[in-house]
Structure 1
Amino acid sequence: MSYKVETDRFLKDLEKVAEVRAEVSTSLGRMAQTIEQAESQGKQTSGGLGLEREIEDIKIASKNLSKGVFRLMVLGDMKRGKSTFLNALIGENLLPSDVNPCTALLTVLRYGLEKKVTVHFKDGKSPKQLDFKSFKQDYTIDPAEAKRLEQEKKQAFPDVDYAVVEYPLPLLEKGVEIVDSPGLNDTEARNELSLGYINNCHAILFVLRASQPCTLGERRYLENYIKGRGLSVFFLVNAWDQVRESLIDPDDTQELQEAEGRLRQVFKANLAEYCVVDGYDIYDERVFEVSAIKALRRRMKDASASLEGTGFTEFMGALNTFLTKERAISEIRQARTLARQTSHRVCEAIERRIPLLDQDVKELKERINSVEPEFNKLTKIGDEFKQEIKAIRDHKARGIADSFRTYVLNLGNTFETDFMRYQPDLRFGDFIDQGKRQRFEAGLKQAFEQYINDKFSAWTLTAEQEMNAAFTQLAKSAATYGASYTKVTDKITEKLTGKKISADNTTLPEDNSPAWANWAMGLVSLASGNIAGAALMGAGFDWKNILLNLIAVIGISVTVSTVFGIILGPITLALVGLGVGLFQADQARKELVKAAKKELVKYLPQVADQQWQPIHDAVKECFDVYEKEVSDRINDDIKSRQAELDNLLQQKESREINYKTELERLKKIESDVSSESQTIEGVYQNFLSAVG
């Protein structure tokens, strides 16, 4: 299949997704408008129905869908061909492809009517617009200078936050946004910055190189920042065509097959664990052998040229399936759930209102007073759930902080074994030479920094798994409390109207569940964001970004520098005293590690104690934000139900309500809202059939 055919199909599928998003967004907008008008009209008739929260939620969801994009992040070490790959995807040599990672900016590629670049700065400095030629010229430096900056742990452009590249590319116009990240060999601070953006992307395109299969740096990054975090990753093994070029006889078919077979075994051994979803092996759907430079050369000559044999058609097909089916279905399903629950809430309120329209004020007051015990039960259910959240919060905050303390205190037990693999190829003779000692110490410090960061990353994954388990438990509890809450609201309706509510077997469980419970379970998300750091649509509550941002401030990098500064002196004295220059390299390394361990274990208790409270507070903050949102939503629901009755009573006390006219108005509201919900249901079902 040609690249043009594959691309055309992808663009058509993306266009279909955009159309579905627009249809659902429009229906949600009309639903919000109908309810908003109804609430306004209620002030002159039988009173509002207390649907302010529903109006707000639907408006947010409609806006999110209308502006929705699929955000892809491109990751990879230096010289892997990330920018070449993107240029091939674009069909133009647009992005700088020879930039050292130290100078590379985090670059967002999005649709624009005109080709332009906007560089965004830190500290409130106004953004700067420039053309592509200037962008390449101004943000590329000599490799030797870049190397020096990397060694000194300095950034070439410390005042720059990120750059936005706008381009009239059909792929971008159809709702795809691409984030080109700095190289993995950059500072740990930049790696962690990239991790922050990873949480805001739908998928990661991780670029490797066939001639350097799964380096230590790449394995470290995958282990530290990708493994076990539930991320969707596509691996692009670039420069696959160079496998043939590396052979003694490029025309030897058997030799080529054997070489490619060995490479595939290496990549599969290292990447297979990242290609398992819900127990299913999807390696063939996530790992692709590509030749970016070959694809770019063809596209530069002819934008519609066949890219058969470059790996691009296979990759585009898999990406198409993932974005336009898996991700899009999940996104539209959440909007459908919100529409159904809103329709149910409106119908529920109207069905309560209608039997009360012809009651006199005295009888209405008596009925309202009769349900006061039920409202107290609603408050109690909400309080019980909030108490459970707080109990889990306190347990997890202390448990996770304690686990960090234990983890840190035990580092000394395995330090000698663990640290050996981090030591660079240090020339111990340089240590004796005063003029070269600075280089020796810099290499040793970098090794120590990698060790500490790897250990910390391993622990954060454990903490993240604990948090996942906690919020999974809370989601189940939300379902249970929500079911109890619904029984009470049904009882309120029965006591007010005198009619028994029969079970509706045609509805989904979430239709009858209160809106706050659906949010707490993650069935409805109202989160949205951009590359500047907000959360994307995903779970109803984005605790990962909160935890990431808060743990980032606990000062691990400061700890690294402080610890190393403290232990370096004794290590120096130990090595000088041993006359390290007389030792064999292996013996010298062992002595160095022993000296480092001796000093490290002295300092570990201080590190454990200093970081306990920040970690405790970071975890606690995640649950506090969740609990506040749950609390606000429960309180809003109870108040809206009370306001629904109070509004009717106030109107009855102040004016005569025309029963027939009001009945028609309420029935029309119910019909209009239900109609929009059914429209969204139809769009959703048709979309499922189309992509199935």
Structure 2
Amino acid sequence: MTTHTETTILLQDLERVSQVRSKISSHLTQIADTLEKGESLGENLSGKLELHRDIEDLSKVSKNLRECVFRLLVLGDMKRGKSTFLNALIGENLLPSDVNPCTALLTIVRYGKEKQVTVYFNDGTSPQKIDYKTFKDRYTIDPSEAKQLEREKKQAFPTVDYAVVEYPLPLLEKGIEIVDSPGLNDTEARNELSLGYINNCHAILFVMRASQPCTLGERRYLENYIKDRGLSIFFLINAWDQVKESLIDPDDPDELAEAEGKLRKVFHANLAEYCQIDGYNLYDERVFEISALTALRQRLKNPDAPLKDTGFSAFLMALNTFLTKERAIAEFRQALTLARQASSHVREAVERRIPLLQKDVEELKIQINSVEPEFKILNQIQEQFKGEIREIRDEKARIIADSFRDYVLNLGNTFESDFTHYQPNLNFLDFLSSGKREAFEQELRQAFEKYISDRIADWSKTAEKEMDSAFLQLSNIATSYGDSYTKVTDRITEKLTGTTLPNISDSSQGDHSPSWAKWAAGIFSLARGNIAGVAMAGAGFDWKNIILNFITVFGVGAIITALTGIILGPISLAFLGFGVGMLQADQARKELVKVAKKELIKHLPKIAQEQSPRVYDAIKECFDGYEKQITERMNDDIQSRKSELDNLVKQKESHEINQEKEIERLTQLEQEVKGESQSIEIVYQNFLTTVS
């Protein structure tokens, strides 16, 4: 099967997903519109059913579906061919790829009817729209300047935050959005920026190079920022065709097989652990040997020609399966859950309302008063759940803050072995030259920044595991309280109507549970991924995002500034006191580590004491945000149920209600919503059939 065929299949499958999104979105919008119209009419008839929360949730999810794209984040060190790979993937020489600093400019590539670029700045300058040619000319620098910037550890475009490139390409039009990140060996600020995008993307494309297998920088990034975070990663080993070119005899098949075999062993040893998902080994579906430059050249000559011997075919097949099957199914299942929930809410509300239409005002008031004890129980359930959230909050905040304090205090115990990987490569004799001392100190500062960032990232995994277990526990608690809550609301309905609610035969188990419980248990979220890396997105509480970006949440920058600021000064003074004979390379490195460790240990207790409360507050804030959303949703549900009854009383007191017409209207409302929900079910099942 040719790569061209795979590209065509990917585009076709993306189009099918887009069509399904559109259909489901339309049905959700129709449900919301039907409820909105029903509430408007009901206001002057028997009163509103108080379905505003359903209308709001349906509208938001419908909008999210319409605007949704599959977002891919491209990571990798400089000189790995990230932009070349992306140009080959999209079929045009779109992104600058002449020299490596161009990749230091974080670039978002998305569909647009016309070619244009918007550059966003970090110095308060308003976003600037420029044409595509100007973008390539302005943000490309020559190789000599590139090397100088790399030596000085400076950014090519320090005032630029990121750029958005809009382009009318088929792959982008079908729902793909690409984030081309800066190199991993760029500044720590840039690395943290890339990290902030990770959880807002559906998949990570980690580009490596066959000629530089698993460098220290790559292993460092994978270990500290990717490992054990539940991310979906595709590893692309670029320039695989150059393995043959590096051989003494490129035409010797045995020599080529031996060279490729050795490389494969190296990559497998370093990447296999990142391809274990839920106990399954997905190495063959996640690691691909590609030749991006060859593919790009072929596509530029003939966009419709099959890409032979480039490795793109297998990669596109795997990416297609992941995006248009696995991810799409999860996306549509959530929308179906929401539609079923809305249908259930309407059915319950109508079945409460119709029997009550026959009651006179006094009878109605008596029955409403009779369920007041049940409403008190609902409030008690709310308070009990809030109490458990706060109990878990306080426990986890303490545990995580204590773990941070202990981790920081123990940094000195492993400093010698840990810092070895970060020591500057400059000649230590350069330190005696005032002209070179600034460069030395800058190198040393960056080494400490990387060391501290990595240590905090390493500790954050402990925090993430604690938070993960906490929210899993809260999910189970929410489900339990949701069951208790539903029993009480069913009892309210039974006391009001005098009948027992029938079982819901056309819905899956759990759809009868209250919406707040589904939300609290993580069954669905209204959060929509925000490309700017905002932790709280949309209307939902995206606690997974907060966990992933935990370093940013409590401000690792403050720790970096504190430690580097107080350590570098004494180190510089110590080196100025050494004689020339002392500053031989090996001995100087030992002295550097010795002095650095001494200063580090001296200040670690203060750092631990100052920062532990910030960690505690950050964890507490996460749970407080969760509790706030739960409280709002539970309050809204309880108040809506009360208002629904009060509305009917007010209408009965104000005018005579035509019961026959109102029953007909309410029954029709229920059937219309049920019909739209069933339509979503059909669309969803048909989609499952097509992708199976």
TM-score surpassing 0.5? yes
- 1:631 and 2:618 are equivalent in the alignment: no
SS, match of residue 518 in structure 2: helix
Equivalences for residues 271-282 of structure 1 within 5 A: 271-282=271-282
Q: How far 1:590 moved relative to its partner? A: 2.2
Q: How far 1:17 moved relative to its partner? A: 0.4
* 2:507 counterpart residue number: 507
Q: How far 1:658 moved relative to its partner? A: 1.3
- 1:643 and 2:622 are equivalent in the alignment: no
Describe the shift of the 1:389–1:102 C-alpha distance in structure 2 as closer, same or farther (beyond 3 A). Answer: farther
* Structure 2 counterpart of 1:317, one-letter code: M
| Distance in 2 between residues matched to 1:595 and 1:343, nearest whole Å | 69
* 1:652 counterpart residue number: 652
SS, match of residue 108 in structure 2: strand
**2:104/2:186 contact within 8 Å kept:** no
| Distance in 2 between residues matched to 1:369 and 1:195, nearest whole Å | 55
Describe the shift of the 1:175–1:80 C-alpha distance in structure 2 as closer, same or farther (beyond 3 A). Answer: same
Task: Structure 1: state its 5+ residue gaps.
Answer: none
Q: How far 1:584 moved relative to its partner? A: 5.4
| Distance in 1 between residues matched to 2:480 and 2:599, nearest whole Å | 52
* 1:298 counterpart residue number: 298
| Distance in 1 between residues matched to 2:335 and 2:411, nearest whole Å | 47
* Structure 2 counterpart of 1:415, one-letter code: F
- 1:199 and 2:199 are equivalent in the alignment: yes
Describe the shift of the 1:556–1:66 C-alpha distance in structure 2 as closer, same or farther (beyond 3 A). Answer: closer
* 2:7 counterpart residue number: 7
Q: Cα deviations across residues 150-207 of structure 1 (Å, max 9, x unaligned)? A: 5555433233221111111111111111111111111011100111111110001110
Deviates more, 1:600-609 or 1:590-599: 590-599
* 1:164 counterpart residue number: 164
| Distance in 1 between residues matched to 2:582 and 2:55, nearest whole Å | 78
SS, match of residue 518 in structure 1: helix
* 2:59 counterpart residue number: 59
* 2:556 counterpart residue number: 556
* Structure 1 counterpart of 2:615, one-letter code: I
Q: How far 1:89 moved relative to its partner? A: 1.4
* 2:311 counterpart residue number: 311
* Structure 1 counterpart of 2:120, one-letter code: H
| Distance in 1 between residues matched to 2:685 and 2:635, nearest whole Å | 34
Describe the shift of the 1:309–1:653 C-alpha distance in structure 2 as closer, same or farther (beyond 3 A). Answer: same
* Structure 2 counterpart of 1:92, one-letter code: E
SS, match of residue 166 in structure 1: strand
Equivalences for residues 217-616 of structure 1 within 5 A: 217-504=217-504, 507-534=507-534, 541-546=541-546, 551-552=551-552, 554-575=554-575, 577=577, 579=579, 581-582=581-582, 585-616=585-616
Q: Cα deviations across residues 587-630 of structure 1 (Å, max 9, x unaligned)? A: 33223212211111011111112212222221111111111111
**1:234/1:286 contact within 8 Å kept:** yes
Q: Cα deviations across residues 428-458 of structure 1 (Å, max 9, x unaligned)? A: 3323444433333333333222211110110
| Distance in 1 between residues matched to 2:49 and 2:298, nearest whole Å | 62
| Distance in 2 between residues matched to 1:279 and 1:124, nearest whole Å | 48
SS, match of residue 117 in structure 1: strand
* Structure 2 counterpart of 1:653, one-letter code: E
* Structure 2 counterpart of 1:443, one-letter code: E
| Distance in 2 between residues matched to 1:126 and 1:592, nearest whole Å | 45
**2:3/2:308 contact within 8 Å kept:** yes
- 1:209 and 2:202 are equivalent in the alignment: no
* Structure 2 counterpart of 1:352, one-letter code: R
Q: Cα deviations across residues 46-88 of structure 1 (Å, max 9, x unaligned)? A: 1111101000000101111111110001111111111111111
* 1:118 counterpart residue number: 118
* Structure 1 counterpart of 2:105, one-letter code: L
Give TM-score scaled by structure 1 length. Answer: 0.96
Deviates more, 1:223-232 or 1:499-508: 499-508
Q: How far 1:92 moved relative to its partner? A: 1.6
Deviates more, 1:120-129 or 1:296-305: 120-129
Deviates more, 1:320-329 or 1:557-566: 557-566
Q: How far 1:509 moved relative to its partner? A: 2.7
Describe the shift of the 1:429–1:127 C-alpha distance in structure 2 as closer, same or farther (beyond 3 A). Answer: closer
* 1:69 counterpart residue number: 69
Deviates more, 1:643-652 or 1:444-453: 444-453
Q: How far 1:423 moved relative to its partner? A: 1.9
| Distance in 2 between residues matched to 1:37 and 1:503, nearest whole Å | 28
* Structure 2 counterpart of 1:286, one-letter code: R
| Distance in 2 between residues matched to 1:441 and 1:198, nearest whole Å | 32
**2:460/2:551 contact within 8 Å kept:** no
Deviates more, 1:679-688 or 1:148-157: 148-157
Describe the shift of the 1:389–1:454 C-alpha distance in structure 2 as closer, same or farther (beyond 3 A). Answer: same
| Distance in 1 between residues matched to 2:115 and 2:571, nearest whole Å | 55
Describe the shift of the 1:624–1:580 C-alpha distance in structure 2 as closer, same or farther (beyond 3 A). Answer: farther
Describe the shift of the 1:268–1:309 C-alpha distance in structure 2 as closer, same or farther (beyond 3 A). Answer: same
SS, match of residue 669 in structure 1: helix
* 1:185 counterpart residue number: 185
Describe the shift of the 1:317–1:553 C-alpha distance in structure 2 as closer, same or farther (beyond 3 A). Answer: closer
**1:80/1:209 contact within 8 Å kept:** yes
* 2:36 counterpart residue number: 36
| Distance in 2 between residues matched to 1:282 and 1:470, nearest whole Å | 28
**2:78/2:103 contact within 8 Å kept:** no
SS, match of residue 523 in structure 1: coil
* 2:107 counterpart residue number: 107
Q: Cα deviations across residues 634-657 of structure 1 (Å, max 9, x unaligned)? A: 000001111111111111111111
Q: How far 1:253 moved relative to its partner? A: 0.3
**2:6/2:313 contact within 8 Å kept:** yes
**2:224/2:458 contact within 8 Å kept:** yes
| Distance in 2 between residues matched to 1:553 and 1:335, nearest whole Å | 30
| Distance in 2 between residues matched to 1:570 and 1:33, nearest whole Å | 68
SS, match of residue 326 in structure 1: helix
Q: Cα deviations across residues 333-390 of structure 1 (Å, max 9, x unaligned)? A: 0000000011001001101111111111111111100000000101111111111111
| Distance in 2 between residues matched to 1:689 and 1:550, nearest whole Å | 40
* 1:142 counterpart residue number: 142
RMSD (Å), alpha carbons: 2.0
Deviates more, 1:445-454 or 1:574-583: 574-583
Give TM-score scaled by structure 2 length. Answer: 0.96
| Distance in 1 between residues matched to 2:250 and 2:73, nearest whole Å | 35
Q: How far 1:133 moved relative to its partner? A: 1.8
Deviates more, 1:644-653 or 1:122-131: 122-131
* Structure 2 counterpart of 1:596, one-letter code: A
| Count of paired positions | 692
**2:117/2:165 contact within 8 Å kept:** yes
Identity of aligned pairs, percent?
Answer: 67
| Distance in 2 between residues matched to 1:651 and 1:437, nearest whole Å | 83
* Structure 2 counterpart of 1:198, one-letter code: I
Describe the shift of the 1:367–1:557 C-alpha distance in structure 2 as closer, same or farther (beyond 3 A). Answer: closer
Q: How far 1:124 moved relative to its partner? A: 5.0
* 1:26 counterpart residue number: 26
* 2:17 counterpart residue number: 17
Describe the shift of the 1:16–1:399 C-alpha distance in structure 2 as closer, same or farther (beyond 3 A). Answer: same
**2:74/2:181 contact within 8 Å kept:** yes
